[in-house]
Amino acid sequence: MTDKVVVITGGSRGIGRATALAAAARGYRIVVGYATNQAAADEVVSAIEAKNGKAIAVKCDVGSEADILALFKA
Mean pLDDT of the 40-50 span: 97
Residue 12 pLDDT > 80, yes or no?
Answer: yes
Mean pLDDT of the 51-73 span: 93
Distance between CA 27 and CA 22 in Å, rounded? 9
Mean pLDDT of the 54-60 span: 95
What are the strands of the beta sheet with 29-34, ordered from one edge? 5-9, 29-34, 55-59
Summarize pLDDT for 13-43 with one digit per residue, the tens: 999 999 999 999 999 999 999 999 999 999 9
| pLDDT for res 1 | 46
